[in-house]
A and B are shown apart, each in its own frame.
Chain A
């Protein structure tokens, strides 16, 4: 009973963290730990609450990122395609695609985690020394894949500008990632849409069944595993890797892949506790404080993740449907201005007044890709450049 209640509490907190921009799993984790210690709950129950919260948050975070355009680290790259789908009246399909990507990633990741986990220790120590070079190759491939020299030059410029912004600001402390990602991926997309739109089209709820493409899922799961137990590498880098592997420009494939990467990264942050004895996320740190993760505990954590994933797969489309029926009644300009004000308020709340220049600079850089016709993922240089320099030994973290 205690286990079930903790699991449901995690689900509830996960929905809140997913739907409310600015509320992150890491903000809620200390409260769960406090609850476990003050009520003397069993460590397994506490771990169930933490894992279910992290999993449900990953699923539901695609709703605000799709309909409002407010990103976090995991959903930043999906903003443009999902927002485009909302403008075409296919927002519900976008949510169903990301839900399918998350669930498929979770299933594949859980099944692969058991046989692969014991080998991760060796792979980790093998890859870590060459990580900087791997990331550098990813950056070069990203730029070269633009095709023409003009586009390559613009892609490189966007990468370097956003990278420089990351280098200058990521050490400032606080939640600087929020204004940076919101500016690069949220505000810039919103400003472009606001200039052209009057009202959102009616969102078609029935949608088409998301295609069961295997290749973007597999590459997403692979990239998620890769980023899940390597420090400092986020889901965005994983998505870029996955894109480079599949080379698909199809929006559906992209959304399946990006959501699978994001989900598997969350899952493997817990698997890393067993495989290399180190946590790879705030929630995993908390689970590590509650449990010594052996084979049995790993099986339990994976089981909780799968059950939470199944529940999220029912909850997320239902919540998405509510957004679909509500949004077309609101004038798009009003919704856009509300979202811009929300991003501004969150920036002020999380970073204080110093967050505003960050947000404006990031927005200015975020406007470049659409103007010159290159991929917005180059703006992930904001995290990728500092990370690459760190792994090359040229910067301390």
Chain B
């Protein structure tokens, strides 16, 4: 009996080790993803460079780096309350597929997506050196200026520091609210502002 127990334990440990090694999907970076990988399981990690929330609850992420991103669809059945914000770091285990000529990585279960929240930066931390970069910033709305029907300009303030957020979509935000938003930094008439493209990039 002792021999059987020993054999079972040793065999079990060897099989666990081999199983873990074999079941690990290939870890890839967005720039290394090729159409030859369609159908295979991969482990993709990177930052959320863009995201779009469909009215039906699906979330479409662009994961990667500045110049190269890969689409990761999180369908509503899979999200189960999962919250993903711009610039969060995500690790996605999924199958590589091709959709309208573009490669995408499609996770099959909620457990296939791991999210590490990127904390927002303070208003005073955004300087001219950030121009052209994607940032996530948090602050209190001091002033709301409507720019026609579809755009809004928010002035965020924190002590002496001020930063403008240009929202390229209709938004209902009141002065005094605390917001977090992600967008690209630009200089407009000598003033720094963050251009927020979509409502899903603004977190009230």
Contacts and interface: CB of A to CB of B under 8 A. Distances in A.
Given A37-B110, A292-B108, A313-B1, A306 B22 contact: no
Given A299-B18, A305-B12, A103 B111 contact: no
Contact size range, B:
20 to 34
B5 A103 contact: yes
Interface stretch (A39-47, A67-75, A232-240): A39-47
B11 A107 contact: yes
B115 to A, nearest CB: 9
Contacts of B108: 292
A310 B19 contact: no
B8 interface: yes
- Most chain-A CB neighbours within 10 Å: which of B1, B17, B22? B1
B5 A313 contact: yes
Contact of B12 (A43, A44, A210, A309): A309
Given A46-B111, A209-B1, A303 B19 contact: yes
B9 A310 contact: yes
Interface residues of A, number: 42
Nearest to B13: A307
Contact of A302 (B15, B21, B110): B15
- Most chain-B CB neighbours within 10 Å: which of A36, A40, A308? A40
B7 interface: yes
A13 to B, nearest CB: 19
A301 interface: yes
A304 interface: yes
B8 A313 contact: yes
Contacts, number: 103
Interface in B1-48: 1, 4-9, 11-24, 41
A110 B11 contact: yes
Given A43-B109, A290-B109, A296-B22, A303 B15 contact: yes
A297 interface: yes
A205 to B, nearest CB: 15
B16 to A, nearest CB: 4
Contacts of B146: none
- Most chain-B CB neighbours within 10 Å: which of A41, A289, A292, A302? A292
Nearest to B113: A40
B68 interface: no
Interface SS, A side: helix
B121 interface: no
A338 to B, nearest CB: 32
A100 interface: yes
B154 to A, nearest CB: 33
B4 A313 contact: yes
A308 B21 CA distance: 20
B20 A44 contact: yes
A78 interface: no
Given A36-B111, A46-B111, A290-B109, A303 B23 contact: no
Contacts of B7: 107
A298 B22 CA distance: 10
A294 B23 contact: yes
A172 interface: no
A1 interface: no
A124 interface: no
Contacts of A290: 109, 111
Contacts of A37: 80, 110-111
Interface of A: 3, 36-37, 40-44, 46, 96, 100, 103-104, 106-107, 110, 209-210, 289-292, 294-311, 313-314
Interface of B: 1, 4-9, 11-24, 41, 80, 108-112, 114
Given A37-B80, A306-B15, A309-B8, 15 more contacts: A40-B114, A107-B4, A110-B11, A291-B23, A292-B41, A294-B41, A296-B19, A296-B23, A297-B19, A299-B15, A299-B23, A303-B11, A308-B12, A310-B8, A310-B12
Which 5 A-B pairs rank lowest in CB-CB distance, beginning with the nearest? A300-B19, A296-B22, A303-B15, A306-B12, A296-B23
